[in-house]
């Protein structure tokens, strides 16, 4: 029987806006399955690059997509993507090479279409694994993947602060450049979402802002 209190939380926002840390914390607090869809696009990018495919080679992209299958490994509270049965190491999906190529691959409609049902299917993975819900972060979660999500948040932050966060994480990332490539999706996902400016907020403050309405709903 469907669990009536099962909730879906969509968290969209640009690179280094605070999505990952806050959605991880929410997943712990409310026992939600956490799906980082940026890591799905990154894993697929790594797989395509391994096969020598570039974002301008559309026939190569299509051929590679038709040969790959997507499954999920639930590790703790995290829904990790497996490509044709294997996961891609975190060091590779966060590498400068993948970071530089992920936005151009993610802009290809066939790439987005290939991941659409897979991402929606994470709600079933959460139910089957007895989570209380799903928290999914990305760029188009509240607009395309789960437009009927129970909660739709959009996080943003000043570009200087975002560059500082990435540097502190020891990562090379041109956040503003990636956001320009991702901008149409970002525009769409902020419509109707609760907007949160994380520039001057601590992680704890961001989490409190997101958690308050969720806690109220779950207590009702
Ligand atoms: O969240 P992230 O920076 O790890 O995401 C990596 C890239 O993946 C980002 O530049 C855009 C793309 N992406 C997307 O297009 N749609 C999503 N739902 C998630 C990520």
User: Ligand 1: distance of its center to the CA of 200 in Å?
Assistant: 23
CATH of the domain at 122: 3.40.50.300
141: confidence class by pLDDT, cuts 50, 70, 90: very high
Residue 46 located in a structural domain: yes
- The binding-site residues of ligand 1, defined as CB within 6 angstroms of any ligand atom, are 15, 37-38, 41-42, 102-103, 106, 138-140, 178, 182, 185
Segment among 56-60, 194-198, 207-211 with least mean pLDDT: 194-198
Residue 51's domain comprises 7-219
3-state per-residue secondary structure call for the chain:
CCCCCCEEEEEEECCCCCHHHHHHHHHHHHCEEEEEHHHHHHHHHHHHHHCCCCCCCHHHHHHHHHHCCEEEEEECCEEEEEECCECCCHHHHCCHHHHHHHHHHHCCHHHHHHHHHHHHCHHHHHHHCCCCEEEEEECCHHHHHCCCCCEEEEEECCHHHHHHHHHHCCCCCCHHHHHHHCHHHHHHHHCCCEEEECCCCCHHHHHHHHHHHHHHHHHC
Q: Is the pLDDT of residue 1 over 60?
A: no
User: Ligand 1: distance of its center to the CA of 103 in Å?
Assistant: 7
Residue 70 located in a structural domain: yes
How far are the Cα atoms of 34, 59, 154 from residue 19, in angstroms, in the given order?
A: 11, 33, 9
| % of the chain residues with pLDDT over 90 | 76
Are β-strands 70-75 and 78-83 bridged in parallel, bridged antiparallel, or unpaired?
antiparallel
Task: Please identify, by atom number, the ligand 1 atom nearest to the C-alpha of residue 16.
Answer: 3
Q: Which of 41, 105, 152 for mutating ligand 1's site (highest number of atoms within 8 Å of CB)?
A: 41
Backbone angles phi, psi at 51, to 5 degrees: -85, 5
Residue 90 located in a structural domain: yes
What's the pLDDT tens digit per position in 149-185?
999 999 988 888 888 887 888 777 777 777 777 778 8
Residue 1 located in a structural domain: no
Strand order in the sheet with 7-13: 70-75, 78-83, 32-36, 133-138, 7-13, 151-156, 194-197
Mean pLDDT score of the chain: 93
| Alpha carbon nearest to ligand 1 atom 20, residue | 38
Q: Is the pLDDT of residue 140 over 80?
A: yes
pLDDT of 3 reads 64
Chain centroid, CA 9 distance in Å: 12
pTM score, whole prediction: 0.94
pLDDT of 187 reads 86
User: Ligand 1: distance of its center to the CA of 140 in Å?
Assistant: 9
| Gyration radius of the chain over CA positions | 17
User: Ligand 1: distance of its center to the CA of 4 in Å?
Assistant: 30
- Are 145 and 45 spatial neighbours (Cβ–Cβ below 8 Å)? no
Residue 120 located in a structural domain: yes
2: confidence class by pLDDT, cuts 50, 70, 90: low
Q: Is the pLDDT of residue 134 over 70?
A: yes
What's the pLDDT tens digit per position in 98-125?
999 999 999 999 999 999 999 999 999 9
Residue 48 located in a structural domain: yes
Task: Please identify, by atom number, the ligand 1 atom nearest to the C-alpha of residue 107.
Answer: 15
Q: Is the pLDDT of residue 73 over 80?
A: yes
| % of the chain residues with pLDDT over 70 | 98
**Stretch 30-38: mean pLDDT:** 98
Residue 2 located in a structural domain: no
State the total domains in the chain: 1
Task: Please identify, by atom number, the ligand 1 atom nearest to the C-alpha of residue 106.
Answer: 15
């Amino acid at each position: 029987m469907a669990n009536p209190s099962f909730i879906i939380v969509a968290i969209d926002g640009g690179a280094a806006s605070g999505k990952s840390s806050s959605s991880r914390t929410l997943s712990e607090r409310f026992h939600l399955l956490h799906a980082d869809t940026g890591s799905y696009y990154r894993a697929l990018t790594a797989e395509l690059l391994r096969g020598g495919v570039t974002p301008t080679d559309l026939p190569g992209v299509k051929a590679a997509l038709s040969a790959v299958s997507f499954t999920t490994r639930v590790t703790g509270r995290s829904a990790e993507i497996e490509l044709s049965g294997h996961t891609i190491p975190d060091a590779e999906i966060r590498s400068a090479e993948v970071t530089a190529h992920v936005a151009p691959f993610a802009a290809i409609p066939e790439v987005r279409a290939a991941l659409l049902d897979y991402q929606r299917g994470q709600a079933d993975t959460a139910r089957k694994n007895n989570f209380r819900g799903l928290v999914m972060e990305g760029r188009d979660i509240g607009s395309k993947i789960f437009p009927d999500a129970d909660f739709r948040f959009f996080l943003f932050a000043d570009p200087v602060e975002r560059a500082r966060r990435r540097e502190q994480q020891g990562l090379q990332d041109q956040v503003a450049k990636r956001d320009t490539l991702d901008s149409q999706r970002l525009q769409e996902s902020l419509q109707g979402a609760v907007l949160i400016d994380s520039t001057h907020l601590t992680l704890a403050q961001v989490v409190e802002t997101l958690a308050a309405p969720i806690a109220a709903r779950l207590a009702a």
